[in-house]
Structure 1
Amino acid sequence: MENHQTLKEFSATHSQKAIAEMMDVSQGAISQMLKSGRDIRVVEDSSVEAGFRFYEVRPLSNRSKAA
């Protein structure tokens, strides 16, 4: 498994403005992501321009399909 940290952990060492630039979103969007408690992970990745990859972990739906 890759070594990752949460967005909240990452924001302790990087400003919201810098993170927003890396993700190509507004600083306000980063603020909302942090306040909402979304499970966003950060992985160091030298193959991308920003040097980091961001992804969100979300549960699969438990809904049953109608027959």
Structure 2
Amino acid sequence: MAKSKAKKLREKLSREGKMNPEAKRSPFVFTDMRNRVTKTKKDHLYQFKHRNHQTPDGNDGSFYFSQAAR
């Protein structure tokens, strides 16, 4: 993999005993600053909008009537 001109220059400066600009970088450069938010109730409901709505106990609200032959 090729080195960029900027990286070559930084390495040259550090070899010559001068200050490496990379050392001045803020520690926040490597952090992910995007906000992480838990889903709202609306987001959660929308996620399951078009799926079969089944509860964990198996009761999905459906029922079955059988008509006995007379």
Q: Do the two structures share a fold, i.e. TM-score over 0.5?
A: no
- TM-score of the pair, normalised by structure 2: 0.20
Work out which of the two has the higher radius of gyration on C-alpha atoms and give 1 or 2: 2
Query: TM-score when scaled to structure 1?
Result: 0.20
**Which structure exhibits the higher relative contact order, with contacts defined as CA atoms closer than 8 Å and separated by 6 or more residues?**
1
